[in-house]
Chain A
Amino acid sequence: MLTTLKRFFSPKTQPSDNKIAPLTPLLPPLLPSKLYLPLYNERQLYLQAKVSISQHILKNQIIAEGIEPSALLHSPVAGTVLDIIQHPSCSSPQKKVQTIVIQPSMEDPWKDEPTLPLNEEIIYSQLALLSEKKLEILHTQLEKSGIMGMGGAGFSTIEKIKISHRKAVHTVLINLCECEPIISCDQGLSEQQPEEILMGTMSLLNCIQAKQAVIIIEDNKAIAIKKLQSYLQNYPHITLKIVPNIYPSGHEKQLVSYITNTTLTAEEKPYDLGYAVFNVATCYAFYRACHLGEPLTQRLITISNGEKNINQWALIGTPIIELLDAQGIKYDSNNQNLIMGGPMNGLALNNSHIGVAKNTNCLVVLPKNQTHTSLEKHSPCIRCGECVAVCPSNLLPQQLFWYAQAQQNEKSEQYRLFDCIECGNCAFVCPSKIPLVHYYRQQKKDISEKKLEQYKIQIAKERYEKRLIRLEEKRQKHQKMLEQKRLQAQQKLAQKNKQKALQPTSENSSQEAVSAAVAKARATALSRKNKNQSKD
């Protein structure tokens, strides 16, 4: 019953057949007039520019780097750095951050730098046994590619590979389930580049030293399944698993539960069970890095206005408005919402000149009345329980809403708020139109902040107490030293007094000596006198 319910459940913003017509050619990357590359990445890290204003740069040249070695930004085109300005970005639409503006060169915008070194060990279609040292070199080389998770979360892929290797992951799961309705870029990619995806998967396997890979695909992607299957015979370590098209199967935890039949809790990560999940677009980017030596500078994006869905290659940093214009999609900021990500839990942008980021998988323009984002206007919760039926994590959304409103953080945690994957099902079925996910996000943020604060308080307290102990020790040591000095002084004084007590005798002796000397002198003087007298 639940499954059927979920299965027939489809967002109202979603057209009856949301997937693109099969095999429409993917459009080549659009060359925009300007590119906006923010110095602030998807993981809230500030980057440092490696180029200066009016400098000429080549395609694939590193233009910024961060504290994490893999947080690199490469120029998608050859051209000139126009300026470094304050501009909103995909990761911080409300706040302006430093952004590099690049103007593509007129003559040869694709003139590129020498590419990354090719890694022959991992480009075969067979598993390769690599030594730890070799792997470390490989990982360091691949850090230069700047690949990050392209499904949306934006976690550094190389970092994930390293962790997976450390945790002895045995199975790599390739996510070919779209994370939201409307989005079809992963499907488009797998229809167009099936072999490249399989090659990328093999490289991933070899980098992690895992044993097998499973591509998890939804059953409505018939062409992609057929295409992948035709190549699979050459890849004995990769299998295909077809799952029903139920929103939200694209989530990491949902995927793992398809394979293992167990549900992961908020604290558990797929590594703990020996799995690592990679998005298919990440896989393709990995293929380009390993086999062609290209860093990540472009990605496939679904562009939609609710009726028309197009998959388009876009250079990282292309302003959103140029992508929309190229597809003839009109955007009017007064009556329409521009959403990055899917319609269910995407992020509303208020500026269409933002450059697309590495994890921007979809851009949707929807009329304002079709999106549920108003916080004030919703009706009260009637506790109908619709949301309970559709929650993929088996939570009690109406109860969580209650606690979120009352800010009862402990209760919320008891009701497993952190297991919520923010899929938006509950908000979608809610008859009172309550933006539930918004409340959950807010509360999660509050709780995390409070925990961080508590942790900081604890650390500060420990440091303060340690300092007090240290100062006390120092004081005691000082006192001990003073005491010792005093003792020494006393001893010296005592010795002196002792000597003084002995001195009278020595004084006598000296007096005797003096008188003896005087007597002697007198005696000699007398004898001399006598001599002189006898001479006379």
Chain B
Amino acid sequence: MNLTAILIIIFIVLLFGIIIAWVSKKYRTNEDPVIAQIDQMLPQTQCAQCGYPGCRPYAEAIAKGEANINLCPPGGEETVKNLAQLLHLEIKPLEKTQESNLTAWIEEDKCIGCVLCIKACPVDAIFGAVKQMHTVINKECTGCDLCAPVCPVDCILMLDSEALAKKTL
């Protein structure tokens, strides 16, 4: 009687052990879930002002503990606060700040159609072709300011919403 009970229990334990082993193998994620959470908090402007090539690499660096949480100017203090809360770190002041809600605007009569800005845009928000006038898709622009420095004729302006509304009037 005792023996059967012990056997049954051993069998159940083994069964669960096998199931657990199988599940952990089958559904293993190679990725740290914290990275996705951090990535979600970042403003996804892909501006690379933090020193990393995009928001995701920055998130990975934060998760590894390589980067500070106060390197994201477009996110502002709000993002620093959220990150600090998530990672149980102290809130630090931003390294550098940036005016938020900017949108790129191409002065179309000056544009020479060099496609340099199109290549620089991380979110494909610039539309145009070689030797054709380019234009910014306002709705998609994240205001990362990566296109302005590469323009050889300096025809890209960074506008706030009010100035943009006047331009598009």
A464 to B57, CA, bound (A): 13
Residues facing B in A451-472 (CB within 8 A) are: 456-461, 463-464, 466-467
A463 touches B123 (CB 8 A): yes
Q: Is B113 an interface residue (CB 8 A)?
A: no
**CB neighbours of A466 from chain B (8 A):** 124
B43 touches A457 (CB 8 A): yes
Total CB contacts across the A-B interface at under 8 A: 36
Q: Is B23 an interface residue (CB 8 A)?
A: no
A463 to B140, CA, bound (A): 9
A458 to B55, CA, bound (A): 12
Question: Which chain A residue lies CB-closest to B119?
Answer: A471
Question: Which residue from B40, B46, B168, B169 sits with its C-beta under 8 Å from A464?
Answer: B46
Describe A's contact surface by its main secondary structure: helix
A457 touches B122 (CB 8 A): no
B123 touches A46 (CB 8 A): no
Chain B interface: which size bin?
A: 10 to 19
Residues facing A in B24-72 (CB within 8 A) are: 39-40, 43-46, 54-55
Describe B's contact surface by its main secondary structure: loop
B124 touches A467 (CB 8 A): yes
A459 to B165, CA, bound (A): 22
**Distance between B123 CB and nearest chain A CB, rounded to angstroms:** 4
Question: Which residue from B40, B44, B165, B169 sits with its C-beta under 8 Å from A460?
Answer: B44
A46 to B46, CA, bound (A): 30
Known contacts A46-B165, A48-B169; decide if A461 and B55 are in contact (CB<8 Å): yes
**Distance between B155 CB and nearest chain A CB, rounded to angstroms:** 23
B123 touches A467 (CB 8 A): yes
B54 touches A463 (CB 8 A): no
**CB neighbours of A48 from chain B (8 A):** 169
A464 touches B122 (CB 8 A): yes
A461 to B45, CA, bound (A): 8
**CB neighbours of B46 from chain A (8 A):** 460, 464
A110 to B39, CA, bound (A): 62
**CB neighbours of B140 from chain A (8 A):** 459-460, 463
**CB neighbours of A463 from chain B (8 A):** 123-125, 140
**CB neighbours of A458 from chain B (8 A):** 44
B169 touches A457 (CB 8 A): no
A463 to B40, CA, bound (A): 14
Question: Which chain A residue lies CB-closest to B125?
Answer: A463
Question: Which chain B residue lies CB-closest to A457?
Answer: B44
**Distance between B26 CB and nearest chain A CB, rounded to angstroms:** 26
Residues facing B in A25-68 (CB within 8 A) are: 39, 46, 48
A6 to B45, CA, bound (A): 51
Known contacts A467-B122, A467-B123, A467-B124; decide if A461 and B165 are in contact (CB<8 Å): no
Residues facing A in B65-118 (CB within 8 A) are: none
A464 touches B43 (CB 8 A): no
A464 to B142, CA, bound (A): 11
Residues facing B in A465-491 (CB within 8 A) are: 466-467
A98 to B162, CA, bound (A): 13
**Distance between B45 CB and nearest chain A CB, rounded to angstroms:** 7
**Distance between B167 CB and nearest chain A CB, rounded to angstroms:** 11
A460 touches B142 (CB 8 A): yes
Provide the B145-168 mask, 1 if CB < 8 A to any CB of A, else 0: 000000000000000000001001
Task: List the 8 shortest-distance A-B pairs measured between CB atoms, nearest first.
Answer: A460-B44, A463-B123, A461-B44, A457-B44, A460-B142, A464-B46, A460-B123, A467-B124
In addition to A48-B169, A461-B44, A464-B46, 11 A-B residue pairs with Cβ atoms within 8 Å of each other are: A39-B169, A46-B165, A46-B168, A46-B169, A457-B44, A458-B44, A460-B43, A460-B45, A464-B123, A467-B122, A467-B124
B-to-A contact residues, CB < 8 Å? 39-40, 43-46, 54-55, 122-125, 140, 142, 165, 168-169
A-to-B contact residues, CB < 8 Å? 39, 46, 48, 98, 456-461, 463-464, 466-467
Would you list 29 pairs from A and B whose C-beta atoms are within 8 A, ordered by A residue?
A39-B169, A46-B165, A456-B142, A457-B40, A457-B43, A457-B44, A458-B44, A459-B140, A460-B43, A460-B44, A460-B45, A460-B46, A460-B123, A460-B140, A460-B142, A461-B39, A461-B44, A461-B55, A463-B123, A463-B124, A463-B125, A463-B140, A464-B44, A464-B46, A464-B54, A464-B122, A464-B123, A466-B124, A467-B122
